[in-house]
């Protein structure tokens, strides 16, 4: 076991809930992870693949980001995420703004509008997104819904009705976006232009719905991320940049079956969020600084006691 694998396994391994994680060093090409091919519900991390599908269609000339979309009253029904649900329906704005809101604030009204641009109905929209994922090599990423009403989903839900993915799939996609942002030809895997790969990463650096990866990092570290919040846990995927301003590593962390309350009295999601933050700091130390994970960060990996 390598030093990097050992330290990240120590941090993530001995938890009272399931953790699935992966890290790819974008410079050396080395890959680390645990349970990387196990499928799990995505929560809002699914929106990065939806974004890249849309940008693929834009690259192909089939969709224009400047085309107008309309916020109508029916779009707010059942929505639990974002700010548009508090706004008065009946106005139009460019599709690019809906895309930005889907990523930056995880707005689910805008997520619906992005899906609407991909096809005439939900069946066609899901076909387009799933075709994109399969053609891009994300063979374990299955989109099964345009929008779930999360208020109706119980903690004990199965994965069957949910959009699912694996850490390995997310790393593959993040690598393709990062590589595409550096290559004049863009990303061959995703068939997305360099300009739009860069745009995707820029949107992901603006996200305020979840800043877990960056929480324990110095303020000047750039992180392009997308978080996910589900009834069974927290998740996050993203790219951490090096001191040279270039992408240094791609990371994906998923927690599952997170208890409502742990035996020490804390909410389970508090530990899940702390672990994701500690993982981001650990990845930065190991890959960017070529140093060990600090002892105070490894403390988050201690077993929970009564």
**pLDDT tens for the 306 residues of the chain, in order:** 699 999 999 999 889 999 999 999 999 999 999 999 999 999 999 999 999 999 999 999 999 999 999 999 888 777 777 778 878 889 899 999 999 999 999 999 999 999 999 999 999 999 999 999 999 999 999 999 997 666 677 777 777 778 999 999 999 999 999 999 999 999 999 999 999 999 999 999 997 555 688 899 998 999 999 999 888 999 999 999 999 999 999 999 999 999 999 999 999 999 999 999 999 999 999 999 999 999 999 998 887 765
User: What fold does the segment set 3-43+164-301 form as a domain?
Assistant: Beta-lactamase (3.40.710)
Domain ranges of the chain: 3-43+164-301
Contact 259/18 with Cβ under 8 angstroms? no
Output the pTM of the full model: 0.94
The helix-helix angle for 46-59 and 167-182 (nearest 10°) equals 40
């Amino acid at each position: 076991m390598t030093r990097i694998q050992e330290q990240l396994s120590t941090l993530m391994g001995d938890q009272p809930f399931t953790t699935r994680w992966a890290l790819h060093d974008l410079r050396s090409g080395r890959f680390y992870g645990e349970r990387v091919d196990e499928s799990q519900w995505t929560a809002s991390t699914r929106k990065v693949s939806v974004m890249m599908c849309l940008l693929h269609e834009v690259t192909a000339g089939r969709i224009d980001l400047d085309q107008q979309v309309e916020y109508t009253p029916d779009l707010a029904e059942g929505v639990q995420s974002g700010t548009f649900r508090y706004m008065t329906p009946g106005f139009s704005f460019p599709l690019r703004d809906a895309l930005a809101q889907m990523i930056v604030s995880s707005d689910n009204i805008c997520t619906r509008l992005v899906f609407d641009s991909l096809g005439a109905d939900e069946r066609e929209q899901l076909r387009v997104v799933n075709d994109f994922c399969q053609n891009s090599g994300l063979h374990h990423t299955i989109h099964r819904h345009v929008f779930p009403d999360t208020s109706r989903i119980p903690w004990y839900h199965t994965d069957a009705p949910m959009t699912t993915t694996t850490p390995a799939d997310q790393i593959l996609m993040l690598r393709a976006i990062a590589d595409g942002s550096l290559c004049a030809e863009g990303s061959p895997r995703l068939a997305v232009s360099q300009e739009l790969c860069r745009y995707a990463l820029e949107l992901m650096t603006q996200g305020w719905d979840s800043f877990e990866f960056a929480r324990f990092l110095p303020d000047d570290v750039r992180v392009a991320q997308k978080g996910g919040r589900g009834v069974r846990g927290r998740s996050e995927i993203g790219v951490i940049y090096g001191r040279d301003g270039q992408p240094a590593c791609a990371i994906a962390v998923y927690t599952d079956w997170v208890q409502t309350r742990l035996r020490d009295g804390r909410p389970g999601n508090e530990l899940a969020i702390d672990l994701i933050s500690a993982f981001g700091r650990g990845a930065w130390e190991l890959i960017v600084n070529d140093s060990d994970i600090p002892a105070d960060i490894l403390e988050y990996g201690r077993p929970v006691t009564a």
